[in-house]
Amino acid sequence: MAFYYSEPSHTFSEYLLIPGYTAEDCVPANVSLRTPLTRFRKGEEPAISLNIPMVSAIMQSVSDDKLAIALAKEGGLSFIYGAQSIESEAAMVARVKNHKAGFVVSASNLTPDSTLADVLALKAKNGYSTVAITDDGTANGRLLGIVSSRDYRVSRMDGSQKVSTFMTPLEKLVTAPAQTTLKEANDIIWEHKLNSLPIVDADGRLLYFVFRKDYASHKENPLELLDDQKRYLVGAGVNTRDYQERIPALLAAGADVLCIDSSEGYSCWQEKTIAWVREQYGDSVKIGAGNVVDRDGFLFLAKAGADFVKVGIGGGSICITRETKGIGRGQATALIEVCAARDEYYRATGVYVPVCSDGGIVYDYHMTLALAMGADFLMLGRYFARFDESPTAKVMVNGVYMKEYWGEGSNRARNWQRYDLGGAGKLSFEEGVDSFVTYAGSLHDNVEISLYKVKSTMCNCGVKTIADLQKNARLTLVSATSIVEGGYHDVVLRSGSQIK
């Protein structure tokens, strides 16, 4: 006879936190959200920790290099999507690693033979007003000059005029050598009242620009997630098919951590993939695995050597796995059981394997609940898809700005490696939808507000760290009737009132 769980499985919205005693120093400013990303032994530090408990989903519509840079700036980490060629995934990873905080690889480049019309077309296309003029028109060619909006007047000049006639030539530019630090660059910018400072190597090749505004942003982001060479940390998704080719390429590009991307991770394929990584690289390469929804799945992957384990099947906002296949589990119930297994494994072995709650976060308070239930960090798709930095188009739908967001199991993504079990080599049926999410502005502004809410709730619970929240949180299931009580009720909203 089949096994039946005696309890129904629950989602986040069915739980609430009960406040604890709040001491005087328990204020959001004193809360640390630092959390382990990879496994560690009792008494040791994890090889990688996050400064905020957020990672972005391994999805085409979420995690490219642009989002990865924006999120690392806040203290979190992106896993660049794996459903693309090995070369292009590795190139995205390399772009994040080459983006020295505050040092920007030039995005707008032309040759001296280009025309004013070319400058204007480039500006219209990418919005940048500083164009590097190099011998070959590439970002790392020999620097010959710069064109900024101060160098031309559209009303007085002909579009066919050559760049060489109006650019600010190299001899009139202030430049700095390769080893310049961000602090030194900023001093030069202020001393010479510059908007941008080109960093040039010994052969005169352009390496980066430092922009005045980027230095300010660096100072504003003390939680930036950097490696020992002050480069942003970045993760990358891998699959259980082409890992022997993909993983070396991603590591060569500089990936700091990998994650096996699969809708269901309690499988021999994940075990084989991790075993291969251990054979090739020992413990030096970090790789997470998943997704699972129960104790057995967690213990299997922890024993296989996963550096972290992801939890969640069917709870993603774009996911229809439960409808199409009838598998999955309420995210809260899955998380609570897996986190108990993680603690059991830690007690038995002295090895802590962090747990990631993946999918189904709708409200900011769900983040706090997931952490209280034991998650060490959260993977978010829909949340990040709404921001300027996500890779998808911003479109107007019925008078409202939206961003596109589609599941990896949708026909649009065709990520068959994530779903196919038996070597069919194709997406046999859809497990995800193609959708829109409401555009929400910049990642920085949103993450700041969401995490301020998380910290405030933690203070209500009397804790200042995630570890203490996991230990001390008290949670209660709520009845359907009290869920109604939790929203506004028995009032008539004034027009314009907004519920978030």
Given the rule CB under 6 A, which residues bind ligand RVP? 57, 59, 312, 316-319, 321, 358-361, 379-383, 407-410, 431-432
Q: Does 461 participate in catalysis according to the annotation? A: no
Q: Which tokens belong to 201?
A: 């190597």
CB of 405 to ligand RVP, least distance (A): 7
CA 242 – CA 260 distance, rounded (Å):
11
Q: How far is the CB of 329 from ligand RVP (least distance, A)?
A: 13
Please give the Cα distance from 77 to 491 (Å, whole number): 42
Nearer to ligand RVP, 72 or 143 (CB): 72
Q: Cα separations (Å) of 72 from 16, 55, 77, 330, 454?
A: 30, 9, 5, 30, 19
Between 266 and 383, whose beta carbon lies closer to ligand RVP? 383
- DSSP assignments along 397-452, one per residue: ETTEEEEEEE-TTSTTT--HHHH--SS--S--S--B-EEEEE--B-HHHHHHHHHH
Residues for the chain: how many in total? 500
* Closest CB to ligand RVP among residues 20, 381: 381
Question: For ligand RVP, which is the closer residue by CB, 300 or 384?
Answer: 384
Q: 67 by DSSP, 3-state: which?
A: helix
Residue nearest to ligand RVP (CB): 432
Is the sign of the CA dihedral 156, 160, 164, 165 positive or negative? negative
Closest to 185 measured CA to CA, from 220, 210, 213, 222: 210
Is 26 a residue of the active site?
no
- Among 95, 342, 382, 418, the active-site one is 418
- List strand residue ranges (DSSP E) for 245-397, in order: 257-260, 287-292, 309-311, 351-352, 355-358, 377-380, 394-397
Spatial CA neighbour of 313 closest among 299, 331, 298: 331
Closest to ligand RVP by CB, 224 or 264: 264
The nearest distance, CB 377 to ligand RVP, in angstroms, is 12
User: Which amino acid belongs to residue 141?
Assistant: G
Q: Is 252 helix (H, G, I), strand (E, B) or coil?
A: helix
Q: Amino acid identity of 78? A: S
Q: Among residues 244, 327, 236, 250, which one has the least CA distance to residue 288?
A: 236
**Taking the complex as a whole, how short is the minimal distance between the CB of residue 190 and ligand RVP, in angstroms?**
42
Choose between 214 and 430: whose C-beta lies nearer to ligand RVP: 430
Single out the catalytic residue among 95, 246, 259, 319: 319
Question: From the CB of 334, what's the least distance to ligand RVP, in Å?
Answer: 12
3-state secondary structure of 7: coil
CB-nearer residue toward ligand RVP: 382 or 455: 382
Show the DSSP H helices in 99-226 as ranges.
116-126, 163-166, 182-191, 212-220
Cα 251 to Cα 336: distance, rounded to the nearest angstrom: 33
Least distance from ligand RVP to the Cβ atom of residue 158, Å: 51
| Alpha-carbon dihedral angle through residues 272, 273, 276, 282, given to the nearest 10 degrees | -120
CB of 265 to ligand RVP, least distance (A): 10
Q: Is the Cβ of residue 38 or residue 410 nearer to ligand RVP in the bound state?
A: 410
Nearer to ligand RVP, 61 or 134 (CB): 61
Torsion of CA 200, 201, 204, 205, to 10 degrees: -80
| Beta bridge partners of residue 62, listed in sequence order | none
Minimum distance, C-beta of residue 163 to ligand RVP, in the bound complex (Å): 45
Residue 464 carries which DSSP code? S
How near is the Cβ of 439 to ligand RVP at its closest, in Å? Answer: 15
Closest CA to 444 of 73, 52, 189: 73
Positions annotated as catalytic residues are 319, 418
